[in-house]
Structures are given as C-alpha cells and as structure tokens.
Amino acid sequence: LQLKELEIAKLFLKMEKYEAAVASFENLLLDYPDTKYREDALFYTIKSYYYYASKSVRSKRIERYQEAADVYNLFVTTYPDSEHNRDVKYMYDRAMKEIERQNK
C-alpha cells in the first residue's frame, strides 16, 4: 500500500500536477511516518515543491520555495549520506536564489 501511494504521487509529479504531488507525498509521510520509502518521499516532496514554486504565480513563489527549503533541511538532517543530496542541494540553492531575487 505504501509503495502504491508513492508511485501514485510520483505519477502526479511526472504529469506536472505539482500541487497534487506535494499533497500525496505529504499524506504518505503522515500516514506512514516510519515507511521504508521515507527518504524517497522526502526527496520527491522537495522536487515537487521546487517545480510547483517555479510554475506558480509570482506572489506565491517565495512561500513555495520556502516550503522546499524547509523539507530540504529535514532531508539533509535525516539523511546526510543520501544519494539524492547533490540533487536536493541544487534545488535548495536555486530556491534560495529565487527567494533572494523575489525579495529585492
């Protein structure tokens, strides 16, 4: 069941339904906090927020990039040696640059 929920959420991400993907990944993590897919779910949550923010109206971008940054902080604290760290660091850095640019 957990794997099925993860795959459904990934499908939303692939279909560029970022809001639905975020909700699905977060629901998976809420419903199954000890899931063996937690690392992947957090990674895809960051990715979903990042793309969701990039496609959002200007007034919502900062908030959504900040959500990606918050999940990033949880991810790197929980999984400091993850194979996804390079990818999430890239998204985090880009999100921070966008937040900074939007605040000017």
In the predicted structure, residue 51 carries a pLDDT above the cut 90: yes
Mean pLDDT of 25-50: 96
Kindly report the pTM of this predicted structure: 0.92
In contact, 9 and 26? CB cutoff 8 Å: no
Percent of the chain scoring above 90 in pLDDT: 88
Instruction: Measure the CA–CA gap between 84 and 2, rounded to whole angstroms.
Output: 20
Mean of the per-residue pLDDT values of the chain: 94
Mean pLDDT of 32-48: 96
pLDDT grade, residue 104 (50/70/90)?
confident
Q: What is the pLDDT of residue 4?
A: 96
In the predicted structure, residue 58 carries a pLDDT above the cut 90: no
Q: What is the pLDDT of residue 63?
A: 92
In the predicted structure, residue 38 carries a pLDDT above the cut 90: yes
Q: What is the pLDDT of residue 102?
A: 82
In contact, 39 and 7? CB cutoff 8 Å: no
Structure token digits, residue 46:
């960051």
Distances (CA, A) of 88 to 43, 57, 103: 7, 23, 22
In contact, 31 and 4? CB cutoff 8 Å: no
